[in-house]
Amino acid sequence: MSKGERTRAAILDQALAMTSTDGLTGLTIGTLADRLGMSKSGLFAHFGSKEQLQAAVLERAAELFADTVVRPALAQPRGLPRVLGLFENWIAWTMDPVLPGGCPIQAASIEFDDRPGPIQDLIVKQQEDMRRVVIGAARRAVEEGHLRADLDVEQFAFEGISLCYGFTQSYRLLKNPKSEVWARNAVHGLVDRARVRQ
């Protein structure tokens, strides 16, 4: 790992934390450089433009999400455990102090939902990927016989993802201590209703 790659990684770590609290727009090259004790221009040279910095941050965030949420869930036995693992890990991810201001991708979703361009395209792709992961896990659980054969997996994914989003708002903004219980109850209810009747 060359020197450049090391600093680039350090920049992205700090940028991720900053984006988490201030958003992709609030992420500013000057203050980011200050926090890292380096010059604006030196930092800038690593990315070439602010937009490319933003894209790099989003990609780093997605990696972290994959490592923290998706991969551990997919390591579970296929079927129901994977589906539950996804939601459980997602809830834990929202509370993870590694991201001091919550999921940067979710923040960026709302920030950029009316600003077409490469950044929006990237966000949409990431969200679609996540949707596909949930749908795939649910479909697999159907095949395994854990979930009902007539389950509408797209509807299922919509509801599960919505609950994870709502949890963020309840936990991070309203700071309601019951948020976690509500979120867990909700996703478990969602999964229970999707199970085969016995």
Partner DNA sequence: TTGACAATAGTACGACCGTTCGTATTATTT
Partner DNA sequence: AAATAATACGAACGGTCGTACTATTGTCAA
Nearest of 115, 125, 114, 116 to residue 58 by alpha carbon: 125
Burial class of residue 45 in the structure, from the number of CB atoms within 10 Å of its CB (0-12 exposed, 13-18 middle, 19+ buried):
exposed
Task: Report the partner that residue 195 touches, choosing among DNA, a second copy, none (CB closer than 5 to 8 A by kind).
Answer: none
Question: What is the spatial distance between Cα 46 and Cα 12, in angstroms, rounded to a whole number?
Answer: 10
Indicate which single residue of 12, 18, 27, 183 sits in contact with DNA (rule: CB under 7 A).
27
Name the site residues for a second copy (rule: CB under 8 A).
20-23, 25-26, 100-102, 106-107, 109-115, 120, 123-124, 127-128, 131, 154-155, 158-159, 161-163, 165-170, 172-174, 178-179, 182-183, 185-186, 193
Select 45 or 196, whichever has its Cβ closest to DNA. Answer: 45
| Binding to DNA, residues 58-117 (CB under 7 A) | none
Select 41 or 198, whichever has its Cβ closest to DNA. Answer: 41
Q: List the x/- string, 32-61, binding to DNA by CB under 7 A.
A: -x---xxxxxxxxxx-xxxx----------
Burial class of residue 190 in the structure, from the number of CB atoms within 10 Å of its CB (0-12 exposed, 13-18 middle, 19+ buried):
middle
DSSP assignment of 71-125: HHHHTSPTTHHHHHHHHHHHHHHHH-TTSTTS-HHHHHHHHTTT--SHHHHHHHH
Question: What is the spatial distance between Cα 147 and Cα 142, in angstroms, rounded to a whole number?
Answer: 5
Task: Report the partner that residue 118 touches, choosing among a second copy, DNA, none (CB closer than 5 to 8 A by kind).
Answer: none
**Rounded to the nearest whole angstrom, what is the least distance from the CB of residue 168 to a second copy in the complex?**
8
Instruction: List, in sequence order, every residue forming a beta bridge with 147; answer none if it has no partner.
Output: 195
**Rounded to the nearest whole angstrom, what is the least distance from the CB of residue 186 to a second copy in the complex?**
5
Indicate which single residue of 4, 118, 145, 189 sits in contact with DNA (rule: CB under 7 A).
4
Task: Report the partner that residue 92 touches, choosing among DNA, a second copy, none (CB closer than 5 to 8 A by kind).
Answer: none
How long is the chain? 198
Q: Which two tokens stand for residue 138?
A: 């649910």
Point out which residues bind DNA (CB under 7 A): 2-5, 7, 27-31, 33, 37-46, 48-51
